[in-house]
Amino acid sequence: MEDDPPTCPLCGRPIPPKVPQSLHHLVPRLKGGKGGETVLLHHQCHREIHAALSEAELARDYASVEALRAHPRLAKYIRWVAKRPPDFASKVPGRRRSRR
């Protein structure tokens, strides 16, 4: 149906019109992805991606939705957020990412 809201490819929940949303560049713009493929995500899902992974990691190893969904932290997040309503929003928990 045309009036159905888009679905977030990361968490699989619908993105209602009034819920914060954002476009994610599968290859970060700073790493050659300007003008490249983007996906529409819940803003919270987008924040979680960038909290878990650096721009270099995204460009090198996580340039597809399938790869993002397979990342251990994101997989745990997806299992958690899937139980929440589509308009649920909270702060991104934990440190941005581990420093090596």
Rounded to whole angstroms, how far apart are CA atoms 20 and 76?
Answer: 22
Every domain of the chain and the residues it spans = 21-81
pTM of structure? 0.85
Single-letter residue type at 51: A
Q: Is the pLDDT of residue 2 over 70?
A: no
> What pLDDT digit, counting tens, does each position of 6-41 carry?
999 999 999 999 999 999 999 888 887 788 899 999
55's tokens: 């721009």
pLDDT of residue 80: 94
Contact 97, 52 (CB under 8 A): yes
DSSP alpha helices (H): ranges in the chain?
43-52, 55-61, 65-70, 72-81
